């Protein structure tokens, strides 16, 4: 029988022992964890509420695309690389196809380039809307998810109308885009073109997306909890970000005015007027804010592209039926929603690449985890990890 006296004694002893003996604990997060966006495992040494020596363990989803590319033809590879960053599958195709076109010296028709550009920006919007949905959710706010996913679905419907696929469009071909784009009743009359009403629908969808941006901003930006949990947290200085190869919105949130859409010529972005959104402090708040503004900039680009798209014209340049890419090497990179996505393509003149190095954005973006999570509080692990916006398919390839 334990008396009250004993209990008090035990408790006071327990108190003392807690104060004297604090032990480091190893905390395992993942591989299956809702906030890891796939299968990422973190091993952290935790002392009280602080964590140290965070070690990300990756490779649970390594599919060996670089090896597989060596036995596939160029046409088959676009189907593979859709699945690298599956949240914006369409955008993955562009740098690879452009690299092959560079080696083949193929000039892509203007209309096809515009379609590529519109769809790439749609992929960016849908990817950023996923972030707008999941990031507040990870911090405990469920409502923005409904707003963001509702309009993401609208954008994906349009993408599906053109390409036939929501996530894995496999739509680009060397020399242009897939013919018979809008399979449907209008196909026979106007082969090789967009579905009827696509441009008008897109224009509508863009204004809806802009409204949703307002709604999300109203909901989230003024939220005291969200501000408290993101402002000043996970600060990433620009020089550290650059040395780690952190790219895309994460780099721009740290105050670096650098956007591959402005410096590379993989798509005709120079014809459009848009701003590169740059953050100030490089904290979680800035990373969220930059992505929200990028959705707005993307809608601006799409509106201008709809105005400027040539009303008719071929969607496909003349290329041989059997694609053989001449010998050569090139690196083509693009500003994907997650950051710099590039392909180092080495061709030996065959029907498939000799070597294809895939530079994916999330791989470099999360290599920063052990640096940025050093000494943070345990609940902040999720807040910081979520703000980096990675996808495990993009990490493991």
Partner 1 sequence: MTSSPSDPELAVHPLQEFADAAAEAVGGEAEIQFDTIKLRVPADQWVNALTKARDNLDLVFFSWLSAIDWANDVEVGDTLNEETEERIELLCTVCDLTEGRRITFSTDLPNVKPSVASIVEVYVGANWHEREAAEMFGIEFEGHPDPGPLYLPESFLGNPLKKSYPLLSREVKPWPGTVDVEDMPEKPSTENPEA
57 — phi, psi (to 5°)?
A: -115, 120
Q: Which stretch binds partner 1 (CB under 8 A): 19-27, 46-54, 141-149, 235-243?
A: 235-243
Structure tokens given for 257: 């005015």
**Shortest Cβ distance from residue 52 to partner 1 (Å)?**
15
In angstroms, rounded to a whole number, what is the distance separating the alpha carbons of residues 181 and 158? 12
Helices (H), the chain: 4-20, 65-69, 74-81, 89-104, 110-138, 143-163, 198-216, 224-230, 238-244, 249-253, 260-263, 284-308, 361-366, 369-372, 378-387, 392-396
Identity of the residue, 49 or 66, whose beta carbon is nearer to partner 1 in the bound complex: 66
Q: Does 319 bind partner 1 (CB under 8 A)?
A: yes
For residues 352 and 386, which CB has a smaller minimum distance to partner 1 in the complex?
352
All residues at 6 or more sequence positions from 73 whose CB lies less than 8 Å from its CB, including other chains: 323, 351, 352
Q: Which stretch binds partner 1 (CB under 8 A): 82-90, 138-146, 269-277, 320-328?
A: 320-328
| Residue 201 or 255 having the CB closest to partner 1 | 255
Smallest separation, CB 228 to partner 1 (Å):
31
Kindly indicate which of the ranges 31-39, 212-220, 237-245, 289-297 contains the residues binding partner 1, using the contact rule CB under 8 A.
237-245
Interface pick for partner 1 out of 6, 8, 16, 62 (rule CB under 8 A): 62
Binding mask 241-270 for partner 1 (x = CB under 8 A): -xxxxxx---x----x-x-x-xxxx-----
Residue 102 as a binder of partner 1 (CB under 8 A): the answer is yes
CA distance linking residue 62 with residue 87, whole number of Å: 17
Q: Could you tell me the strand order of the sheet in which 41-47 lies? A: 25-29, 41-47, 50-57
Residue linked to tokens 């452009």? 98
List residues binding partner 1 (CB under 8 A). 58-59, 62, 64, 66-68, 70-71, 73, 75, 101-103, 105, 107, 173, 179-180, 191, 239-240, 242-247, 251, 256, 258, 260, 262-265, 314, 316, 318-323, 327-331, 333, 340, 342, 344, 346, 348-352, 354-355, 357, 359, 363-364, 367, 371, 396
């Amino acid at each position: 029988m334990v008396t009250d006296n004993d209990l008090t004694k035990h408790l006071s002893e327990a108190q003392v022992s807690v104060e004297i003996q604090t032990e480091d604990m190893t905390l395992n997060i993942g591989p299956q964890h809702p906030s890891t966006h796939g299968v990422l495992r973190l091993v952290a040494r935790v002392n009280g509420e602080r964590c140290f020596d965070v070690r990300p363990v990756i490779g649970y989803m390594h599919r060996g695309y670089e090896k597989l590319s060596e036995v596939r033809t160029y046409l088959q590879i676009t189907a593979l690389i859709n699945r690298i960053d599956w949240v914006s599958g369409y955008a993955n195709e562009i740098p690879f196809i452009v690299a092959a076109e560079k080696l083949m010296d193929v000039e892509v028709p203007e209309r096809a380039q515009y379609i590529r550009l519109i769809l790439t920006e749609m992929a960016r919007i849908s990817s950023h809307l996923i972030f707008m949905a999941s990031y507040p959710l990870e911090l405990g706010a469920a409502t923005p998810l409904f707003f963001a996913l509702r309009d993401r679905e609208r954008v994906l419907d349009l993408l599906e109308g053109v390409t036939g696929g929501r996530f894995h469009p496999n739509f680009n071909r060397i020399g242009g885009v897939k013919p018979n784009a809008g399979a449907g009743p209008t196909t026979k009359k106007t082969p090789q073109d967009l579905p009827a009403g696509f441009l008008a629908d897109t224009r509508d969808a863009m204004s809806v997306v802009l409204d949703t941006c307002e709604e999300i901003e109203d909901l989230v930006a003024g939220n005291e909890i969200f501000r408290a949990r993101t402002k000043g947290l996970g600060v990433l200085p620009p020089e550290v970000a650059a040395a780690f190869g952190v790219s895309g919105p994460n780099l721009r949130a740290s105050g670096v005015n650098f956007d591959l859409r402005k410096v590379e010529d993989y798509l005709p972005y120079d014809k459009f007027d848009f701003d590169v959104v740059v953050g100030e402090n490089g904290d979680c708040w800035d990373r969220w804010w930059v992505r929200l503004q990028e959705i707005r900039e993307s809608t601006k680009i799409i509106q201008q592209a709809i105005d400027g798209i040539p009303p008719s014209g071929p969607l496909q340049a003349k290329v041989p039926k059997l694609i053989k890419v001449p010998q050569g090497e090139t690196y083509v990179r693009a500003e994907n929603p997650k950051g710099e996505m590039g392909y180092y393509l080495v061709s030996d003149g065959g029907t498939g690449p000799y070597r294809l190095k895939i530079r994916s954005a999330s791989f470099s973006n999360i290599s920063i985890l052990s640096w940025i999570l050093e000494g943070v509080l345990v609940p902040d692990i999720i807040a910081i990890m979520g703000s980096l916006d990675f996808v495990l398919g993009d990490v493991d390839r």
